[in-house]
């Protein structure tokens, strides 16, 4: 059994979720010279599922190279990426408060998909999974959207909201994986880790 893994993610939520299932982990974050955001660029009319799996694979490639370059002890490396899709449209992270408000206007009163791809590599072996969930927002008034954006919570989050935060008061229904919507589907993640001999 492997004692610990590397988590190649800047998301504090993913770290908390791994801790929740008892997985010892160490952060393996991008160096300042790495352009991590460039990996998240959408290619044309890319399907959301294809997009999130491609981005996760690229992030894992970069993390595995980082591990080698830093000469760190060998251990499995985990990467994940989450995207929000309304129909076939990918709703990424808002760049500004105005962006966040526009995204939330689109989600208001609608059901959207949340897709989280997970990939883990140990040596030359790589295992992957995709979690798909559905979230329905109640209709939000302009004042409610403005108040939520003012909290700063939408920034840095796909779809401009965090399910575990204040947005929960506007979420009418969820189908699928709550932890997947947060950013790391625990059922799928635990299954992948067990395949690679990680205790969880």
Q: Kindly state the percentage of the chain with pLDDT values over 70.
A: 98
Which is catalytic among the residues 31, 35, 61, 81? 81
What is the predicted pLDDT for the residue at 191? 97
Q: Kindly state the percentage of the chain with pLDDT values over 90.
A: 86
Contact between residue 90 and residue 20 where contact means Cβ atoms under 8 Å apart: no
Provide the angle, in degrees to the nearest 10, between the axes of the packed helices 186-195 and 12-20.
70
Contact between residue 39 and residue 81 where contact means Cβ atoms under 8 Å apart: no
Q: State yes or no: pLDDT of 188 exceeds 80.
A: yes
- Residue 81 known to be catalytic: yes
CA angle (144, 41, 59) in 5-degree steps = 105
Contact between residue 118 and residue 188 where contact means Cβ atoms under 8 Å apart: yes
d(CA 137, CA 5): 35
The whole model's pTM is what? 0.93
Q: State yes or no: pLDDT of 91 exceeds 70.
A: yes
The domains of the chain, with CATH numbers, are 5-195 (3.90.950.10)
Q: What is the pLDDT of residues 151-185, one digit of tens each?
A: 999 998 999 999 999 999 999 999 999 999 999 99
What is the predicted pLDDT for the residue at 44? 81
What is the predicted pLDDT for the residue at 31? 79
d(CA 57, CA 63): 10
3-state DSSP of the chain: CECCEEECCCCHHHHHHHHHCCCCEEECCCCCCCCCHHHHCCCCCCCHHHHHHHHHHHHHHHHHHHHHHHCCCCCCEEEEEEEEEECCEEECCCCCHHHHHHHHHHHCCCEEEEEEEEEEEECCEEEEEEEEEEEEECCCCHHHHHHHHHCCCCCCCHHHCCCCCHHHHHEEEEECCHHHHHCCCHHHHHHHHHHCCECC
Q: Which residues pair with 81 in a beta bridge?
A: 117
- Determine the average pLDDT of the residues in 106-125: 97
If you average pLDDT over every residue of the chain, what do you get? Answer: 94
């Amino acid at each position: 059994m492997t004692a610990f893994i590397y988590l190649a993610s800047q998301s504090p939520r993913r770290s908390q979720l791994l801790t929740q299932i008892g997985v010892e982990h160490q952060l393996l974050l991008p160096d300042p010279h790495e352009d991590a955001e460039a990996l998240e660029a959408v290619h044309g009319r890319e399907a959301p599922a294809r997009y999130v799996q491609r981005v996760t694979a690229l992030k894992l490639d970069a993390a595995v190279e980082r591990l080698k370059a830093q000469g760190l002890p060998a251990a499995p490396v985990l990467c994940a990426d989450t995207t929000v899709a309304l129909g076939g449209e990918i709703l990424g992270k808002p760049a500004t408060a105005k962006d966040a408000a526009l995204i939330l206007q689109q989600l208001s009163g609608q059901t959207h998909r949340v897709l989280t791809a997970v990939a883990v590599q140990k040596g030359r072996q790589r295992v992957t999974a995709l979690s798909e969930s559905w979230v329905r927002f109640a209709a939000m008034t302009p004042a409610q959207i403005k108040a939520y954006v003012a909290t700063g919570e939408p920034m840095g989050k796909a779809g401009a909201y965090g399910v575990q935060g204040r947005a929960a008061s506007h979420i009418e229904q969820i189908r699928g994986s709550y932890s997947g919507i947060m950013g790391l589907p625990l059922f799928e993640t635990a299954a992948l880790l067990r395949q690679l001999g990680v205790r969880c």
